[in-house]
Amino acid sequence: MKDIITMAHGAGGESMRRLLADEIAVLYDGHADLDDAAIVPGGPRLAVTTDSFVISPLTFPGGDVGKLAAAGTINDLCMRGATPLYMTVGLILEEGLPMATLRLALSSLRATCDEAAVAVIAGDTKVVQRGKGDGLFVNTTGVGMVGAPQPPSSCSAVPGDRVLVSGYLGDHGVAVLAAREDLPLRTEIASDCAPLHGLVAALISAVGSDVHVLRDPTRGGLASALNEIAADSAVGIMLEEEAVPVRPQVRGVCEILGLDPLCMANEGKLIACVAPSGAAAALEALRSHPLGQDAAIVGEVIDSATPRVQVTTGLGTGRVLSMPAGELLPRIC
């Protein structure tokens, strides 16, 4: 079964990373960039990202596929310290899709772009036969302008950096799972889906080049993102599990279903690796913004002969936090 694509290849974990490195990177012609967005070589300081959104269900508490597509694209540009400017949108529509569903998605996409002052400048639409497209797929490309001479990169973490997250983790994954499976939750959990342009601007304004790394922990959650940073920067990361903000409802759902909240997808959170001299100011800047009020310092970048993420638990024990090896939740973003 190693010679076929499985759902695990799209889950954001180890299988997906191997697929990108072993098969997809050949397309990059020497310009491979595994960050959330690439800096265009030469010429103007442009950041470019492209993404496809295949979530099921198409609407969920806190958002829908249109809001998700716009916010996800905007956030990928922001993770390189870029100001989002332009977006293209490609739609694959399945025969039988209710027009009301399409209108809702397009309205949400437009409203999210307007919030970030992003112009939709081009697009494409295709229709496939009933049963061939699962409703609606959205593909986007985003373009932004990079201001910093050394934009944040997953390759730039250095020992001593403090690791911050901007708020509660796992909300998006649990919200989508609950909507898909109609879980009888006592309290509705809403996705954190949101554009992070304002939050990133506040952070960079406060501490500037002290921000070494920015990542949004989408597929694979915090576990995947931290392992990617550790591998790309050739460092270790020490994570304090008790410091990681997770809502009790999210933790409860994960415990019942045997899931790890550190591996759950997020769509409105960021991870920042910040120089120790700027960590306190970075935390204050995040908490001063509505989307970062629950931000926390959760760990530290350390020297390590083997790039890995280690976790200190509330009981004082330790464990290695590995990148998810398989598929936790299909069709999550």
Q: Where in the chain is the domain with CATH 3.90.650.10?
A: 162-320
Q: Where in the chain is the domain with CATH 3.30.1330.10?
A: 33-146
Q: Which of 1, 30, 4, 120 is nearest to 69 (CA)?
A: 120
At 32 the pLDDT is 58
Is there a contact between 277 and 210 (Cβ–Cβ < 8 Å)?
A: yes
H helix and E strand count, the chain: 8, 14
Is there a contact between 20 and 34 (Cβ–Cβ < 8 Å)?
A: yes
In tens, the pLDDT along 94-103 reads 999 999 999 9
In tens, the pLDDT along 58-76 reads 999 999 999 999 999 999 9
At 33 the pLDDT is 61
208 vs 151: CA distance, rounded Å: 10
At 315 the pLDDT is 78
The edge-to-edge listing of strands for the beta sheet with 296-302 is 211-215, 271-274, 162-165, 296-302, 236-240, 309-312, 318-320
Query: Which residue ranges in the chain fall short of pLDDT 50?
Result: 1
Assign domain 33-146 to its CATH superfamily.
PurM-like, N-terminal domain (3.30.1330.10)
At 296 the pLDDT is 98
CATH class, range 162-320: alpha beta
**Cis status, amide bond into 57, omega within 30 of 0:** yes
At 3 the pLDDT is 82
200 vs 116: CA distance, rounded Å: 12
Question: What proportions of the chain, in percent to the nearest 5, are helix, strand and coil?
Answer: 35, 25, 40
At 1 the pLDDT is 45
In tens, the pLDDT along 201-213 reads 999 999 999 999 9
